[in-house]
């Protein structure tokens, strides 16, 4: 049950080197599976920073309970899959939830040489401890720095949000979105969430900054954000490329079969051409 990206690349490989640029946004709809990616929309105008989702997340994943008093801005780590960060902006105080973005074409999945990182058909990116060898290439590749590694364990795991994949399989919403008391988190099909996000911006243009973060950033992500202020004021990286990260390595990977065919043939040719002619090898021994 591998998700489309790999088969999608295979298809591309067959049809020649027409690169993946531009097609990633519709990757979900191109899937041969009838399922669409699910995602969550975070509305920065609604979130009041109660941090209830942090507690629900820790409970759902068996992680230590979050501490009460925390600095305004934190990052996720191996003990917490999500954090609520607080930013005093010119407009108002804005809270933003950070966690794995569940990219449409995740760099971590492309990076993983054991398929431990896996983009599921429903959208969540999950991690499989039975396959992972702990090389941390996913961490090097992730543009959001979301996979976290247990450096102080002899049997370390990669920790990150898995969008409560176990709950999703039984038809439930992720713990954070399910429990959010202010409807700041909306769980649903990614396509619907994008429509909903644009509807909210369209209806109250003075309340929102006109950008759905994650619609195209990093080639499209499962988590989507709308907020009253531009996202660079909320610690989000707004200079990420608008296309797929795995596509950065496809050019190199496509060159592999070419080199594997051409270089040995070329080498063998030179070797044959330069070797001493047994019929005529009198005086070129130097």
Partner 1 sequence: MMNNSYQVASDHEGKSMWKFLLSEFKPKGKLLTPFNIISIPIMLLGLGLITIRFMKGIGAITNLTQDIPWGLWIGFDVVTGVAFAGGAYVITFMVYILNMHKYHSIVRVTVLNGFLAYVFYAGALLLDLGRPWHVINPVIGNSFGTSSVLFLVAWHFLLYMLAQLIEFSPVIAEWLGAKRARKILSGMTIAAVIFGITLSTLHQSGLGALYLMAKDKIHPLWYSEFIPVMFFVSSIFAGLSMVIFEGSITHKVFFGQISEKNDRAQKGIIHGLARICTGAMFAYFFLQLLVFIHGQHWHLLNTGMGYWFMLEMLGFVLFPMLLYFYSYRTNNLLLIRIAAILTMLGVILNRLNVTVIGFRWDMAIRYVPSWMEFVVTLAVIFTEIWIFRWVIRRMPVLRDPPAWANDKP
In the bound state with partner 1, the residue whose beta carbon lies nearer, of 151 and 170, is 151
Cα–Cα distance for residue pair 68/51, rounded to 1 Å = 9
Residue 154 CB neighbour total at 10 angstroms? 5
**Which residue spans within the chain are E strands per DSSP?**
38-43, 83-88, 93-98, 117-119, 125-127, 148-149, 158-159, 185-189, 223-226
Residue 280 sits in the site that holds partner 1 (CB under 8 A): no
Closest CA relative to residue 223, chosen from 169, 138, 164: 164
Q: Are residues 160 and 114 in contact, defined by beta-carbon separation less than 8 angstroms? A: no
Binding mask 129-168 for partner 1 (x = CB under 8 A): xxxxxxxxx-xxx-x-x--xxxxxxxxx------------
In the bound state with partner 1, the residue whose beta carbon lies nearer, of 177 and 221, is 221
Q: Are residues 27 and 105 in contact, defined by beta-carbon separation less than 8 angstroms? A: yes
Cα–Cα distance for residue pair 163/157, rounded to 1 Å = 17
- Considering only the stretches 15-23, 170-178, 182-190, 236-244, report the one whose residues sit in contact with partner 1 under the rule CB under 8 A: 236-244
Residues 49-78 that bind partner 1 (CB under 8 A): 75, 77-78
Residues 237-276 that bind partner 1 (CB under 8 A): 237, 239-241, 245-246, 248-249, 251-253, 256, 259-260, 263-264, 267-268, 270-271, 274-276
In the bound state with partner 1, the residue whose beta carbon lies nearer, of 129 and 205, is 129
Residue 9 sits in the site that holds partner 1 (CB under 8 A): yes
- Residue recorded with tokens 């929102």: 208
Residue 17 sits in the site that holds partner 1 (CB under 8 A): no
DSSP 157: -
Q: Is 257 helix (H, G, I), strand (E, B) or coil?
A: helix
In the bound state with partner 1, the residue whose beta carbon lies nearer, of 131 and 204, is 131
- Considering only the stretches 21-29, 91-99, 105-113, 171-179, report the one whose residues sit in contact with partner 1 under the rule CB under 8 A: 105-113
* Helix then strand then coil, % of the chain, to nearest 5: 35, 15, 50
Q: Measured from the CB of residue 250, what is the shortest distance to partner 1 in angstroms?
A: 8
Lookup: tokens for 20: 């993946």
Q: Measured from the CB of residue 193, what is the shortest distance to partner 1 in angstroms?
A: 25
User: For binding to partner 1 (CB under 8 A), which residues are involved?
Assistant: 5-6, 9, 75, 77-78, 107, 109-116, 129-137, 139-141, 143, 145, 148-156, 237, 239-241, 245-246, 248-249, 251-253, 256, 259-260, 263-264, 267-268, 270-271, 274-276, 285-286
């Amino acid at each position: 049950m591998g998700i489309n990206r790999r088969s999608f690349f295979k298809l591309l490989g067959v049809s020649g080197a027409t690169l993946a640029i531009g097609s990633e946004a519709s990757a979900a709809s191109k899937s041969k599976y009838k399922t669409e990616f699910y995602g969550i929309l975070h509305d920065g105008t609604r979130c009041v920073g109660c941090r209830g989702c942090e507690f629900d997340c820790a409970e759902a994943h068996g992680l230590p309970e979050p501490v009460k008093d925390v600095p305004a801005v934190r990052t996720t780590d191996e003990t917490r899959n999500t954090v609520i960060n607080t930013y005093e902006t010119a407009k108002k105080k804005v809270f933003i939830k950070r966690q794995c973005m569940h990219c449409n074409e995740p760099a971590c999945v492309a990076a993983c040489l054991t398929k431990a990182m896996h983009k599921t058909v429903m959208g969540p990116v999950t991690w499989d401890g039975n396959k992972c060898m702990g090389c941390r290439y996913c961490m090097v590749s992730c543009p959001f720095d979301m996979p976290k590694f247990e450096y102080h364990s002899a049997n370390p795991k990669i920790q990150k949000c898995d969008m409560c994949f176990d709950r999703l399989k039984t038809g439930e919403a992720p713990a954070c979105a399910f429990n959010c008391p202010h409807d700041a988190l909306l769980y649903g099909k990614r396509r619907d969430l994008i429509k909903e996000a644009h509807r909210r911006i369209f209806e109250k243009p003075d309340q929102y900054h006109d950008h759905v973060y994650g619609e195209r950033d990093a080639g499209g992500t499962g988590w989507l954000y709308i907020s009253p202020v531009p996202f660079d004021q909320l610690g989000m990286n707004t200079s990420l490329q608008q296309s797929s990260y795995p596509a950065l390595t496809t050019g190199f990977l496509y060159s592999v079969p070419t080199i594997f065919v051409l270089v040995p043939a070329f080498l063998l040719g030179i070797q044959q051409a330069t070797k001493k002619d047994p019929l005529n090898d009198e005086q070129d021994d130097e």
